[in-house]
Structure 1
Amino acid sequence: MEKMSGNSGYKEYVAGLMAGIAIVITGHPFDTVKVKLQKHNTEARGIKYKNGLHCAARILKTEGVKGLYRGATSSFIGMAFESSLVFGIYSQTKILLQGGPDGGKPQPQAIVPSAAFGGAIISFILCPSELVKCRMQVQGADSVLPSSSRYGGPLECALKTVKCEGITGIFRGGFTTLLRESFGNAVFFSTYEYVRYHLHLQRKGASSESSQLIDIGVGIMSGGLGGIACWSAVLPLDVAKTIIQTTPEKNHTRNPFRVLKSIYARSGLRGCYMGLGPTIVRAFPANAAAIVTWELSAKLLGIKRDFN
């Protein structure tokens, strides 16, 4: 397994920031489709999309490529800080719990709490940025929102939210975000670590010339599969979060389990997993890009990772 130099500290956070940028560039269009499906296809009335492809085609027809990147500004800011913190906190906490750098098989007793802790911390940053992102995403050309409720940009959205709902309004869905990020990151990093460990066992004996190419391949597989495992586990919580953050009613319940119970009664299990298609399609490339970018950035920054 990898060994990291003791002075890697802040560099892990810089590498994580680069990973976040890679996630947004790769995955935001899929995320826009997912949010629209979750918002509109779980409502009792309003527009319905047949599937993710139909939703994407409609966005492109009515708004162009720009529509797929609606809300990307807040997403770039939120994801950059989120990834910087989650990768940095995860790496440093795992070393602390293990009593030193990795030296062999992944240790779940260090991986799971480190990932969950990182997820809990970043949820406080991610919640407001995702609230703005989601509200921007659902107000496209197909939205039934009145013009008075539309936002000209992310900053206007944030300011209007605070003005109308108070400072707590910008943190609407915070508990659900915390649950999603804690559990989701535990699943993601556990899958990532185990897949990477076993793939690197298979690569022993490979020539040095092909080593870097193999590292990229391992990063793609471990990151991609980690992303699929994560989102398969937490998508219902994400559906609940989207509903909580985008509903116009101020007194709407913020309990994710009540929201999911209501969705289940109306749309069944399919409703609780609304947006699964674009989420899974997005999960592999976006998280593969994140891991490859993280590991390459770490290497460029001089963080030593040598495998036994």
Structure 2
Amino acid sequence: MFSVYLYFHQVRGLYCGATPSFVGMAFESSLAFGIYSQTKQLLQGETHNDKPRPLAIVPSAAFAGAVISFILCPSELVKCRMQVQGTDYLVPSSSRYSGPLDCALKTVKTDGLTGIFRGGVATLLRESIGNAVFFSTYEYVRYYMHLPMRNVSTDPSHFIDAGIGIVSGGLGGIACWSAVLPIDVAKTIIQTAADGNHTRNPFRVLESIYRRSGVRGCYTGLGPTIVRAFPANAAAIVTWELAMKILGIKRE
């Protein structure tokens, strides 16, 4: 019985910081796709040409990323701090948090209200650039995969649509994280630094990493991130497109 409890406790440790991450992702997904769609439609205007337009896609995606960064920054700060506290040499037992709310309250008490937004610049850069890369890749892959079916009188089946959504969303996720992972690495270091005077400039952090470990150090965790990026973003795109169909929203 004790061994079962110990196993459960170890498995639960793998999900430290999951709650704020789930909450942040819920707001991120709803806001990001909604702001992107509305802004792109506003910039494109009334048009019957469904070919991707970078002048509408890139600023719309970057704007969506900039907005959601203000929600993601506090939730990811709590998530990152909850995750690193499982190791004694990083966070002593006396300084550990009992939960996400306790982490947020102690951060505000120690560093003030601005403390909860530590890493905000890095988050803003990651989300703006990442969303621009993601939606650009998604739109172009989707367009060219649909291209052979343009002259077909019948609409593609739901299975084909879902397949295109999986490929375009998955490749978009890979492209996104390949572009912004170094910024995310810097953000994590900034948010989990024990020293309150640690620099919050992501470029200085990356410069320090590059001097110590080269380009490889800036891409720490690329493998697991890519493995996660494809299914996660594929699922997000398929869900988004399915929701639009159910709600009767016409995709321009």
Which bracket does the TM-score occupy, shorter chain normalised?
Answer: over 0.9
Alpha-carbon deviations, 1:102-154, whole Å to 9, x = none? 63210000000000011011111110000001111112256531012211111
The answer to whether the 8 A contact 1:95-1:102 is kept is no
> Superposition pairs for residues 121-140 of structure 1, below 5 Å?
121-140=67-86
> Aligned pair 1:203/2:149, yes or no?
yes
| Partner Cα distance (1:295, 1:223) in 2 | 11
Q: Residues 195 and 189 of structure 1: is their aligned pair in 2 closer, same or farther, counting only changes over 3 Å?
A: same
Q: Does the CA-based 8 Å contact 2:84-2:90 persist in structure 1?
A: no
Counting matched residue pairs gives 246
1:47-126 correspondence to structure 2 within 5 Å: 63-100=9-46, 103-126=49-72
The aligned amino acid for 2:127 is: E
Aligned counterpart in structure 2 of residue 220 of structure 1, from 150, 163, 166 = 166
- How much has 1:200 moved relative to structure 2? 0.8
Q: Is the 8 A contact 1:98 1:110 kept in 2?
A: yes
d(CA) in 2 for partners of 1:61, 1:284: 29
Contact 1:263 1:272 in 2 (8 A): yes
Aligned residue number for residue 193 of structure 1: 139
- Structure 2 length normalisation: TM-score? 0.92
2:206 is equivalent to residue 260 of structure 1: yes
The structure, 1 or 2, with the larger RCO (C-alpha pairs under 8 Å, 6+ apart) is 1
Quote how far apart the aligned CAs of 1:65 are. 3.3
- For residues 95 and 153 of structure 2, what CA distance do their matches in structure 1 show? 59
Trace 1:216-255 onto structure 2 (pairs within 5 A): 216-255=162-201
Name the % identity.
76
5+ long unaligned stretches in structure 2: 1-5
- Letter aligned with residue 118 of structure 2: R
**1:179 is matched with which residue?**
125
Structure 1 unaligned blocks of 5 or more: 1-59
Q: Residue 269 of structure 1: CA displacement?
A: 1.0
Q: 1:102 to 1:84 in 2, by over 3 A?
A: farther
* 1:268, distance to aligned residue in structure 2 (A): 1.3
> Runs of 4+ in structure 1 displaced over 4 angstroms?
60-63
Judge conservation of contact 2:21–2:79 (CA < 8 Å) in 1. Answer: yes
